[in-house]
A and B are shown apart, each in its own frame.
Chain A
């Protein structure tokens, strides 16, 4: 099979999987014993109004008919209209996704910046104290309830010490940069708005640290495991035998190969980051897709829930595909199966 054939096959499978996901999500959101109309209209609205609104939204039609309509719209690239805010779901997603992408990317940088060195130290000094310290530190991040850590760090670094700014993407008195991508840091950079850039970066530190620390354990574990394996291999022994210093062996010879599996994990961990974002964004008042998702689920905003699920599934599948292709490219021994 050539790479092209492989890609086509994988794309087809992804489409199939995504179709399945819309079906499951559609059924799930409709059997939830909660009503989007009640949620939208509020407790006080009279019963007649609820009935009319259900009819106007087509929620009183049979399920297969509703799903048919949804699919037909979806094929045309239309994700439907949110019940809560009466806006196209695609517009909502375009509004909320950039903030999450920005946060997740920054969190990934944090996770790698801590996780990879910790993993290296841990492998090189296996079973000695640096190994223990590095692993406990990295695993603690993965073991703490993220919402507790977020509130704790806000309480200490923001309130008590005052070294970092509070919730949100920008301070109240900072004028937002001209929107280009929707990612505040990137936009500030592109438009050369240095004041906004500094403020945005400061606001990014705390949520990115919390979310990134949560992923550190995974990165450390992966780096450690693969480095240990590589260090055992023949070419490393040869290098050692040739008199290359241990530092040289690790950094020049082993690390490059050991980092490959870590790259894979980074790709896959993006999915985990999106889940973590649900809890982090609520606490840090971060205007991202995680908060939108929670809000949509609690209000049973069916088109919105479907839209969010779809986007996350697509991101996950594409990341998966990218990782596989990258791997195949880097290691010709891997067959496309």
Chain B
């Protein structure tokens, strides 16, 4: 018994001692450290040519030939390339590299590194990001011919076929084209893996930061690149992304000062936070959209254009945007979202149940029909729970006689069904890969891409031809007119009911100054300071 008491006392003592406030000596002070609470569970690698789920760590540790700055997503700015020219046929691009750029490891960046970067992108097997490069017709066999380095400061890219110039330069600014230090990476190649095993949690770039620590499902940490010479050294010395999956916990950390920025707060949490001192909510329209997809074969009723229109009239867009999203989204009925060339502000569909019923009767479905709606578990675009959004849509559709059963499943299952053309109705979203209207019109309108409209078995040849034509043009009024036509066709006949354009919203502590961000580059740390 005495032993028991002694053990108990020991435990108590340790507990008391542990509960005493203590202070450790960090390498970087809290004023130099920014903590971003975010769910990073889906991040599987920080290799720039592989990473797809998160942009910031790669955009901060690597530099690209060109970059977008200060939220201007239509005019790429010089970065590693000080200047470039393009041929009239939109096939050949010549980049002139800035001399003397240094990688974090000390090597000097040359055209050989750019060539190696392209080779990596097309050669890494089962690479989620590679399609951004391969869609331009570059593959492991022709990459030597397509990307050439006539001298250490010049890179020439000669595409085998014309590709939209806007889209090409946008992709060059994407993480997938982040230039790696070929000498360093080659030292870490094992089993012909192009260094992917090593680059998972190391960086070899020329950006302002480098990766200090990455543990999947746990944390990402960046510290400054001591050799950075493409711009002034940033004031923030350490950036940490702990993996916080519950948004309530993200909000807790923000409230306690353990996090400076929270990324995944729900629409109503953001609304509540706006009323609190000490924080601000930074919002801009995201380049993406939440949509309801309708399979035109699996559900006979949805095969009729009038029924698809009826669904579009049945939805209470205002209720969704104003109430469910608490303003964390904008009305959107254009395939190309606001902020990109080709956006169409027209809103042809309003909540009109009477009209929806009339259209259903006209199509011969006055008695209604049944459909299963697939929704991914978790959060929909704009920080509203997927279940809530699905329930709201079910409510609206049932009001006009369409019976909906909701199936909320893991994303891996939903997209499997959707990709196999086996869905009936899906609640999903699409976000920008590169800021060009082509990135939206192709998946939504061109079934030959085997993307969104193909998954819904909607094969519209005239539409696909228009999309293809618009894709190859520069941003001229002619291109604008084409997107207007594409959008009208999609609204009239297409298998998508666009629900809204979400906002990118960050809850930020007022200790942070100069918080600048845009939906493509995310947070800009170059000007940021912290008190």
Contacts and interface: CB of A to CB of B under 8 A. Distances in A.
A/B touching: CB–CB < 8 A: yes
B419 A50 contact: yes
A158 B256 contact: yes
Interface string A75-98: 000000000111100001001100
A42 B53 contact: yes
Contacts of B41: 295
A285 B246 CA distance: 9
Contacts of A109: 11
A205 to B, nearest CB: 8
Given A95-B215, A173-B33, A44 B131 contact: yes
B244 A167 contact: yes
A45 B128 contact: yes
Contact of A292 (B217, B256, B430): B217
Contact of A49 (B1, B24, B131, B240): B131
B6 to A, nearest CB: 14
Interface stretch (A196-204, A219-227, A264-272): A196-204
Contacts of A174: 24, 26
Contacts of A53: 125-126
B24 A175 contact: yes
B408 to A, nearest CB: 12
Contacts of A151: 246, 248-249
B442 to A, nearest CB: 10
Contacts of B218: 287
Interface string A182-218: 0000000000000111110110010000000000000
Nearest to B245: A282
Contacts of B22: 195, 198-199
A102 interface: no
Contacts of A84: 44
Interface string B15-28: 10111101111110
Interface stretch (B166-174, B383-391, B409-417, B523-531): B409-417
A61 B93 CA distance: 43
A49 to B, nearest CB: 6
B249 A285 contact: yes
Contacts of B249: 151, 154, 166-167, 283-285
Interface in A103-141: 109, 113
A166 B216 contact: no
Contacts of A172: 33, 35, 240, 242, 258
A251 B3 CA distance: 12
Contacts of A292: 217
Contacts of A166: 249, 252-253, 256, 258
A14 to B, nearest CB: 30
A173 B245 contact: no
Contacts of A38: 412, 415-416, 419
A82 B451 CA distance: 27
B24 A33 contact: no
B332 interface: no
A33 B131 contact: no
Nearest to B414: A34
Nearest to B23: A195
Nearest to B376: A43
Given A42-B128, A155-B252, A172-B33, A198 B17 contact: yes
A85 B200 contact: yes
Nearest to B130: A49
B200 A86 contact: yes
A111 to B, nearest CB: 13
Contacts of A197: 18
Interface in B414-439: 415-417, 419, 428, 430, 433
B319 interface: no
A145 interface: no
B196 interface: yes
A40 interface: yes
A251 B2 CA distance: 11
A45 B17 CA distance: 53
B417 A85 contact: no
A285 B244 contact: yes
Given A34-B416, A39-B415, A85 B244 contact: no
Contacts of A196: 24
A285 B242 contact: yes
A42 B428 CA distance: 13
Nearest to A201: B18
Interface string A19-46: 0000000000000111111111111111
A85 B252 contact: no
B485 interface: no
A238 B249 CA distance: 57
A140 to B, nearest CB: 22
B416 A33 contact: yes
A298 interface: yes
A57 B253 contact: no
Given A47-B450, A86-B197, A166-B258, A40 B428 contact: no
B255 interface: yes
Contacts of B248: 151, 154-155
Given A84-B44, A85-B44, A198-B17, A56 B33 contact: no
Nearest to A40: B128
Contacts of B53: 42
B246 A41 contact: no
B99 interface: no
Interface in A150-184: 151, 154-155, 158-159, 162-163, 165-168, 171-175
A287 B242 CA distance: 10
A73 interface: no
A140 B8 CA distance: 24
B135 interface: yes
Given A85-B200, A173-B33, A45 B244 contact: no
A96 B128 CA distance: 25
B337 to A, nearest CB: 16
A306 interface: no
Nearest to B12: A113
Contact of A39 (B246, B412, B443, B454): B412
B288 to A, nearest CB: 11
A162 B256 CA distance: 8
A151 B247 CA distance: 11
A299 interface: yes
A273 interface: no
B246 A43 contact: no
Contacts of B19: 163, 202, 205
Given A49-B130, A175-B24, A283-B246, A159 B44 contact: no
A202 B21 CA distance: 10
A252 interface: yes
Given A33-B417, A85-B45, A284-B249, 19 more contacts: A32-B413, A35-B416, A40-B128, A42-B52, A46-B451, A47-B454, A48-B450, A53-B126, A85-B200, A85-B216, A86-B200, A158-B252, A165-B258, A175-B26, A195-B22, A201-B14, A282-B245, A282-B246, A300-B412
21 contacts: A34-B412, A35-B416, A37-B126, A38-B419, A40-B126, A41-B126, A44-B443, A49-B131, A85-B216, A174-B24, A174-B26, A195-B24, A201-B15, A201-B18, A205-B18, A282-B245, A282-B246, A284-B249, A285-B242, A285-B244, A299-B410
The 5 closest A-B pairs by CB, nearest first: A39-B412, A34-B413, A53-B126, A201-B18, A173-B26
